[in-house]
């Protein structure tokens, strides 16, 4: 009985050890591979251990038929019922048949079985019952019958070749006790070793039909995909699929992924859910992280991707796949359902464009006017360079922008990449827009694209503050004020037909014509649109471009710049002549000087002095002209003269004095007199640290480092005085 108790304790310990928390959604093999009913056929060889006092050895064979039930709530605890037939063959040579017997028995009990995997399980069982034994050699009068009470504990070590088949090794310990007083010699323990072959009823949960029916996919809705929108699809859905849990169990830890072989490096996780309840329907958005192979396609490519879902079913991981088909359009295609998408075609990182823009700047470097806005001059140069190589506007004969943008029915349009437009030398409004903006962006110029009904064109940021709009153009309607900075609109489709100034004028007119209908015009900053629609990937190759004739580009640029200069100066002349104030003539002189018209500037400054001989601003500015002409000693004399006058007026600590000190510092550095330069820089810094910071590099040179670099800068820059 002690051994029986030990087996019982061991069985209880195993059940506790292998039991699992109901809150765990990892694989529970006991539940997942549970078979409701199992029917087993067993054989065991038994050997008496003690208490069998018949004086003879025995050969005992036991045949059994058992049935087990596995309850759903606790599948490890399995009630069982067994019917058996035992044959005892005495091996005594003297009375060979005296103790031979046959027994029929029935037992009932429980097994504690734990599955370690799909294929292996182990456990312990406890049972008890009754056996009717027949002895054929104890009496000459015939068969002797008696009854025995049975108790048994057994270990089960099982292998499962398949869900429905089980092979179990069964070591056991049986105790039998005779129920009458005549056969007590048969009382005692018997050790058995045997095996059971069982057939288990039910459906294998790993069979294909069992899994596929668990989660039902329906209503796959996928839009055509566009290679140009590669980055967009990583965060925004291009379709959806509906799934329904048709099982009576909830699914936990659900993860949906999408994968397209050949065009993705790894599956993209598109949705994660803690649970899909039984009968619940979920719509899953489809997203994808495509690699650069999508940019290598041409035309329309039919593809079949795979939506895959993994989840825990009865605490066991399950994986299902569902194919989805769609069309992939090449990188030159797009839908105009969102105008911002055109940002994907603006490609300033293209080395071919960078090389071309560098050539343009180099061609025009001698004609750049430091008085004009740098961004505006670069835009002029690019415009004329494109015209020089023959780029012209040509409406798309099949799908012009107006037809695909002004209709509610979305139509696939083709937008040529800038490098392709450069090779073809023709393009419609969207092609020329992305080309022009891409080239501007290679120079670090902030750009935007404008849309009006049936048309798209360009704009760029001059970085000029709105209060100084006159320095861009005296007509404020020629610029667009965005957050205090002035943007210039350019009707790029006029390229090759007219000059930049006309294209600028036309762009402004189109924008301003919708002043009362602002809902019909839009301005999209390229930088903002690019956050959502990044530029397409390129396999860069040398375009073999003919960049055009550099002198011709420079000449056209210079003509346009002169025209703009005349427009701006005409406004300053008009104001000076109409009002006749010293301030207006001084401002006119400053603008003339910045534009390099020094003789006219001196005339304007002299008129300002004649208006007021004590007016010091024009005197400082005339000294600046000496400085710009390289006559540094004369500039220094003039600066010192004005600085002395300020001292006499008690204004030697004024902002005007700070400016003059800075100009003196620049002049002395240009003359390689670092000691004097440092003296006047320090004086300027003490008066106006903010203004001095604009030339702070001068302070570093006083230590003897970078003199030539500072001197070179000093020779090309100077502070003009507008107001005292």
Q: What is the pLDDT of residues 137-149, one digit of tens each?
A: 666 666 788 899 9
Q: 379 and 509 share a domain?
A: yes
Does 574 fall in a domain? no
Q: What is the pLDDT of residues 111-131, one digit of tens each?
A: 999 999 889 999 999 999 999
pLDDT range class, residue 99, cuts 50, 70, 90: low
User: Residue 259 above 70 pLDDT?
Assistant: yes
Which ranges in 319-470 belong to alpha helices (H)? 351-364, 374-388, 401-405, 418-424, 429-442
Q: 305 and 164 share a domain?
A: no
Q: What is the pLDDT of residue 22?
A: 41
User: Residue 354 half-sphere exposure, CB side, CA atoms within 13 Å?
Assistant: 9
DSSP state of 372: S
Q: 169 and 250 share a domain?
A: no
- Which tokens belong to 137? 């050699």
Q: Check residues 28 and 360 and name the one with the higher pLDDT.
A: 360
Q: 6 and 141 share a domain?
A: yes
CATH code of the domain covering residue 320: 2.60.40.2550
pLDDT range class, residue 336, cuts 50, 70, 90: confident
Q: 344 and 251 share a domain?
A: no
Q: What angle do CA 510, 512, 516 make, to 5 degrees?
A: 120
Distances (CA, A) of 187 to 150, 181, 183: 10, 11, 8
Q: What is the pLDDT of residues 482-532, one digit of tens each?
A: 999 999 999 999 999 999 999 999 999 999 999 999 999 999 999 999 999
Does 558 fall in a domain? no
Residue position matching structure tokens 């078979």 = 35
Does 585 fall in a domain? yes
b/e 476-490 (16+ beta carbons within 10 angstroms → b): eebbbeeeeebbbbb
Q: Measured between alpha carbons, how far is 494 from 500 in angstroms, rounded to an integer?
A: 8
Choose one of 504, 528, 552: the last residue of a domain: 528
Q: 216 and 91 share a domain?
A: no
Q: 115 and 173 share a domain?
A: yes
Q: What is the pLDDT of residue 400?
A: 57
CATH code of the domain covering residue 488: 3.10.620
CATH code of the domain covering residue 599: 1.25.40.10
CATH code of the domain covering residue 142: 2.40.160.20
Question: Is there a contact between 255 and 307 (Cβ–Cβ < 8 Å)?
Answer: no
User: Residue 13 above 80 pLDDT?
Assistant: no
Q: 358 and 468 share a domain?
A: yes
Sort residue 692 into left (φ over 0), alpha (ψ -120 to 50) or beta: alpha
Choose one of 170, 200, 230: the last residue of a domain: 200
Q: 394 and 301 share a domain?
A: no
DSSP state of 227: G
Does 561 fall in a domain? no
pLDDT range class, residue 93, cuts 50, 70, 90: low
Q: 630 and 584 share a domain?
A: yes
Q: Check residues 194 and 1 and name the one with the higher pLDDT.
A: 194
Q: 471 and 503 share a domain?
A: yes
Burial of 608 (0-12, 13-18, 19+ CB in 10 A): buried
DSSP 115-137: ESSSSEEEEEEEEEEEEEEEESS
Q: Measured between alpha carbons, how far is 47 from 275 in angstroms, rounded to an integer?
A: 55
Burial of 673 (0-12, 13-18, 19+ CB in 10 A): middle
Q: 308 and 421 share a domain?
A: no
Q: Measured between alpha carbons, how far is 439 from 129 in angstroms, rounded to an integer?
A: 95
Bridge partners, 107 (sequence order):
82, 129
Number of domains in the chain: 4
* H/E element, 59: strand 58-69
User: Residue 308 half-sphere exposure, CB side, CA atoms within 13 Å?
Assistant: 16
Does 542 fall in a domain? no
Burial of 532 (0-12, 13-18, 19+ CB in 10 A): middle
Q: What percent of the chain has pLDDT over 70?
A: 86
Mean pLDDT score across all residues of the chain: 86
- Which tokens belong to 112? 């504690």
Does 514 fall in a domain? yes
HEC states along 623-689? HHHHHHCCCHHHHHHHHHHHHHHHHHCCCCCCHHHHHHHHHHHHHHHHCCCHHHHHHHHHHHHHHCH
Does 568 fall in a domain? no
Radius of gyration of the chain (CA): 48
* H/E element, 506: helix 500-512
Range of the domain at 518: 338-528
Question: Is there a contact between 307 and 257 (Cβ–Cβ < 8 Å)?
Answer: yes
Choose one of 490, 513, 528: the last residue of a domain: 528
Backbone dihedral angles phi then psi of residue 459, each to the nearest 5 degrees:
-155, 155
Would strands 101-115 and 77-90 be described as parallel, antiparallel, or unpaired?
A: antiparallel
Does 301 fall in a domain? yes
């Amino acid at each position: 009985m002690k051994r029986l108790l030990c087996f019982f304790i061991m069985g209880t310990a195993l059940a506790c050890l292998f039991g699992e928390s109901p809150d765990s959604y990892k694989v529970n093999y006991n539940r997942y591979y549970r078979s409701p009913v199992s029917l087993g056929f067993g054989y065991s060889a038994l050997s008496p251990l003690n208490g069998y006092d018949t004086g003879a050895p025995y050969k005992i064979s036991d045949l059994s038929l058992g049935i087990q039930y596995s309850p759903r709530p606790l599948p490890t605890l399995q009630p069982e019922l067994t019917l058996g037939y035992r044959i005892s063959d005495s091996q005594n040579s003297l009375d060979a048949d005296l103790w031979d017997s046959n027994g029929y028995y029935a037992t009932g009990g429980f097994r504690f079985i734990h599955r370690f995997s799909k294929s292996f399980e182990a456990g312990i069982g406890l049972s008890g019952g009754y056996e009717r034994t027949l002895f054929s050699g104890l009496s000459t009068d015939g068969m002797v019958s008696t009854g025995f009470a049975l108790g048994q504990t057994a270990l089960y070590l099982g292998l499962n070749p398949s869900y429905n088949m089980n092979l179990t090794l069964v070591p056991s310990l049986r105790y039998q006790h005779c129920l009458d007083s005549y056969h007590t010699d048969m009382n005692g323990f018997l050790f058995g070793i045997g095996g059971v072959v069982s057939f288990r009823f039910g459906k294998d949960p790993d069979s294909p039909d069992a899994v596929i029916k668990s989660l039902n996919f329906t209503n796959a809705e996928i839009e055509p995909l566009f290679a140009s929108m590669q980055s967009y699809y990583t965060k925004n859905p291009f379709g959806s699929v509906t799934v329904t849990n048709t099982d009576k169990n909830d699914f936990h830890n659900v993860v949906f992924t999408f994968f397209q072989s050949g065009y993705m490096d790894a599956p993209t996780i598109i949705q994660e859910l803690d649970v899909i309840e039984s009968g619940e329907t979920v719509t899953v958005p489809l997203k994808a992280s495509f690699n650069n192979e999508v940019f290598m396609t041409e035309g329309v490519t039919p593809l079949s991707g795979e939506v895959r879902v993994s989840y825990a079913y009865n605490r066991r991981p399950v994986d299902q796949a569902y194919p989805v088909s769609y069309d992939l359009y090449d990188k030159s295609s797009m839908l105009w359902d969102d105008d911002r998408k055109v940002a994907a075609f603006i490609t300033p990182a293209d080395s071919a464009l960078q090389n071309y823009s560098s050539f343009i700047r180099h061609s025009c470097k001698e004609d750049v006017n430091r008085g004009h806005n740098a961004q505006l001059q670069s835009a002029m140069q690019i415009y004329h360079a494109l015209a020089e190589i023959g780029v012209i506007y040509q409406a798309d004969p099949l799908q012009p922008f107006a037809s695909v943008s002004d209709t509610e029915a979305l139509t696939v349009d083709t937008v040529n990449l800038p490098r392709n437009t450069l090779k073809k030398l023709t393009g419609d409004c969207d092609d020329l827009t992305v080309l022009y903006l891409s080239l501007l962006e290679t120079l670090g110029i902030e750009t935007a694209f404008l849309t009006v009904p049936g048309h798209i064109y360009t704009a760029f940021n001059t970085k000029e503050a709105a209060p100084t709009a006159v320095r861009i153009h005296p007509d404020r309607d020629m610029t667009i004020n965005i957050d205090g900075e002035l943007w210039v609109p350019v009707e790029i489709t006029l390229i090759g037909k007219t000059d930049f100034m006309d294209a600028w004028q036309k762009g402004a007119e189109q924008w301003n014509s919708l002043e009362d209908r602002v809902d019909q015009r839009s301005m999209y900053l390229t930088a903002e649109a690019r956050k959502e629609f990044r530029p397409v990937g390129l396999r860069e190759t040398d375009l073999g471009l003919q960049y055009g004739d550099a002198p011709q580009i420079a000449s056209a640029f210079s003509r346009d710049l002169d025209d703009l200069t005349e427009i701006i100066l005409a406004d300053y002349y008009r104001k000076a002549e109409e009002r006749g104030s010293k301030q207006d003539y001084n401002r006119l002189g400053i603008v003339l000087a910045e534009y390099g018209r020094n003789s006219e500037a001196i005339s304007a400054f002299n008129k300002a002095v004649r208006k007021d001989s004590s007016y010091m601003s024009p005197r400082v500015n005339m000294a600046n002209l000496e400085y710009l002409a390289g006559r540094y000693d004369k500039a220094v004399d003039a600066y010192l003269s004005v600085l002395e006058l300020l001292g006499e007026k008690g204004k030697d600590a004024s902002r005007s004095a700070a400016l003059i000190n800075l100009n003196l510092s620049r002049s002395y550095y240009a003359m390689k007199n670092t000691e004097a330069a440092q003296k006047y820089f320090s004086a300027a810094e003490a008066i106006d640290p903010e203004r001095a910071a604009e030339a702070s590099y001068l302070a570093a040179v006083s230590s003897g480092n970078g003199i030539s670099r500072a001197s070179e800068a000093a020779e090309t820059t100077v502070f003009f005085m507008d107001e005292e």
